[in-house]
């Protein structure tokens, strides 16, 4: 394998050691497939989750540019926004969040608990916005104000999903290859939830660059998700070019499904809630109502439908989102 030089991409350290890989004994027996979970939900900073791997690179770049402020965008209960705010604050930046009220839930906990509460605890500045367009307008205004005061804002896109953020899960792919040797398992599949695309994109470029190619499947957390797949391919290829690779991915290289994603982003279906309860009771692992319950449900269906064959070894990357449980109590 060619050596990839990542030195040009400085990191802020947010992750001390590889996240644990756990074998799910009870569920594996039930499904007839060996199911393992990579516990990125337990990464130590800021309540954990996948965004930390991207933020190591994104905040590293912000530091290199001598930024003073970090801006990002998300839904009211965005895990990405919460982790960005915490990781930025810890590293001496002022964080400002531009949060969209885009999920039609009126229940009070959605607006007060979960990620909203964690944001409040760290006193991060929040700008309520209508949609992405409005968010970028407000960001442009705030940037202008801050620049006039001699400050330097740095904008992180939705979900941390650009080429630089993608490198975080390329790293994770190689971490998984090392862990395979330690636990003496060869995985047949890696599965993850996909929303803004860079978790899937990063794992997929890891696969493409590696002599031990484990296919990676992204399970969409919303329907009508062609745009997510398009964005995933675009940032994967941008990331490959950025690290000096000439062979790019094609759409057919990305395994993707939106089949069990429910009616909309942020709205779980009864089957997703059943999956949360099932995994909690049988394995003591909690999934979240927005991302991981949808992806894990889709993985189970792929196993039941034979898309993933009996006897296979599957690694599910648990991308976090646990605060979301406390914002959705009416579903339980
Ligand atoms: C953001 C998020 C995802 C999706 O990851 P992307 O890289 O945006 O596709 C999955 N799970 C959780 C819990 C998340 O917060």
Q: What is the CATH number of the domain that holds 78?
A: 3.40.50.1100
Whether 67 and 193 share a structural domain = no
Whether 166 and 142 share a structural domain = no
Count of domains for the chain: 2
User: Does some domain include residue 323?
Assistant: yes
Q: Which residue, of 143, 159, 175, is where some domain finishes?
A: 159
> What is the pLDDT confidence band of residue 5, given thresholds at 50, 70 and 90?
confident
> What is the pLDDT confidence band of residue 3, given thresholds at 50, 70 and 90?
low
Q: Per-residue b/e over 262-279, b at no fewer than 16 CB within 10 Å?
A: beebbbbbeebbebbebb
User: Does some domain include residue 13?
Assistant: no
Q: Is the CB of 321 under 6 A from ligand 1?
A: yes
Whether 230 and 327 share a structural domain = yes
User: Does some domain include residue 177?
Assistant: yes
Q: What is the pTM of this model?
A: 0.97
Q: Please, what is the end-to-end C-alpha distance for the chain in angstroms?
A: 48
User: Does some domain include residue 61?
Assistant: yes
Q: Is the pLDDT of residue 56 over 60?
A: yes
- Average pLDDT over every residue of 6-18: 94
Percentage of the residues of the chain whose pLDDT score is greater than 70: 99
For residue 6, the model assigns a pLDDT of 80
User: Does some domain include residue 184?
Assistant: yes
- Average pLDDT over every residue of 157-169: 98
Measure 4 CA to ligand 1 centroid, in angstroms: 25
Whether 286 and 222 share a structural domain = yes
Residues whose CB is less than 8 angstroms from the CB of residue 181 and which lie 6 or more positions away in sequence, other chains included: none
Backbone angles phi, psi at 224, to 5 degrees: 50, 50
Identify whether 78 is a catalytic site residue: yes
Residue 52 DSSP symbol: H
Q: Which structural domain, as residue segments, surrounds residue 89?
A: 52-159
Measure 179 CA to ligand 1 centroid, in angstroms: 22
Strands 255-257, 216-220: parallel, antiparallel or unpaired by DSSP? parallel
Q: Is the CB of 180 under 6 A from ligand 1?
A: no
- Answer yes or no: are the C-beta atoms of 280 and 253 closer than 8 Å: no
User: Does some domain include residue 5?
Assistant: no
Whether 25 and 96 share a structural domain = no
- Answer yes or no: are the C-beta atoms of 214 and 188 closer than 8 Å: yes
Whether 236 and 261 share a structural domain = yes
In ligand 1, which atom is closest to the CA atom of 197?
9
In ligand 1, which atom is closest to the CA atom of 195?
9
Q: Which residue, of 134, 159, 184, is where some domain finishes?
A: 159
Q: Which of 78, 161, 220, 257 is catalytic?
A: 78
What's the mean per-residue pLDDT of the chain? 97
> What is the pLDDT confidence band of residue 7, given thresholds at 50, 70 and 90?
confident
Whether 121 and 263 share a structural domain = no
Whether 33 and 180 share a structural domain = yes
Whether 234 and 293 share a structural domain = yes
- Average pLDDT over every residue of 54-83: 98
User: Does some domain include residue 309?
Assistant: yes
For residue 306, the model assigns a pLDDT of 97
For residue 2, the model assigns a pLDDT of 60
User: Does some domain include residue 3?
Assistant: no
Q: Is the CB of 193 under 6 A from ligand 1?
A: yes
Tokens 């039930």 sit on residue: 30
> What is the pLDDT confidence band of residue 1, given thresholds at 50, 70 and 90?
low
> What are residue 166's DSSP bridge partners?
none
In ligand 1, which atom is closest to the CA atom of 198?
7
Q: Which residue, of 124, 140, 159, is where some domain finishes?
A: 159
Whether 197 and 173 share a structural domain = yes
For residue 62, the model assigns a pLDDT of 98
Whether 152 and 187 share a structural domain = no
Residues whose CB is less than 8 angstroms from the CB of residue 16 and which lie 6 or more positions away in sequence, other chains included: 44
Whether 315 and 203 share a structural domain = yes
């Amino acid at each position: 394998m060619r050596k990839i030089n990542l030195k040009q991409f400085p990191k802020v350290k947010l992750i001390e050691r590889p996240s644990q890989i756990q074998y799910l004994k009870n569920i594996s027996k039930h499904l007839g497939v060996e199911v393992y979970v990579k516990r990125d939900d337990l990464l130590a900073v800021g309540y954990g989750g996948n965004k930390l791997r991207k933020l190591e690179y994104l905040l590293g770049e912000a530091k290199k540019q001598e930024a003073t402020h970090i801006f990002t965008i998300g839904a009211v209960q965005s895990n990405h926004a919460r982790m960005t705010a915490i990781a930025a604050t810890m590293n001496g930046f002022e964080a400002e969040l531009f949060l969209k009220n885009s999920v039609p839930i009126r229940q009070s906990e959605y607006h007060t608990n979960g990620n909203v509460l964690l944001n409040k605890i760290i006193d991060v500045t929040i700008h309520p916005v209508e949609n992405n367009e409005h968010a970028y307008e407000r960001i442009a205004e705030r940037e202008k104000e801050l620049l006039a005061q001699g400050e330097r804002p740095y904008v992180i896109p939705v979900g941390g999903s650009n080429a630089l953020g993608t490198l975080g899960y390329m790293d994770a792919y190689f971490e998984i290859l090392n862990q395979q040797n330690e636990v003496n398992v060869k995985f047949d599949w890696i599965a993850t939830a996909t929303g803004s695309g860079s978790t899937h994109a990063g794992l997929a470029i890891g696969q493409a660059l590696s002599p031990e190619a484990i296919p990676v499947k992204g399970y969409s957390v919303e329907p009508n998700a062609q745009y997510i797949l398009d964005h995933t391919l675009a940032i994967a290829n941008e990331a490959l070019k950025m690290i000096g690779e000439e062979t790019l991915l094609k759409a057919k290289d990305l395994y993707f499904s939106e089949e069990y994603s429910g009616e909309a982003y942020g709205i779980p279906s009864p089957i997703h809630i059943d999956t949360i309860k099932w995994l909690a009771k049988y394995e003591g692992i909690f999934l979240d109502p927005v991302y991981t319950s949808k992806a894990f449900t889709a993985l189970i269906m792929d196993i039941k439908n034979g898309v993933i064959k009996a006897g296979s070894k599957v690694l599910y990357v648990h991308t976090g989102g646990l605060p979301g449980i406390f914002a959705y109590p009416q579903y339980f």
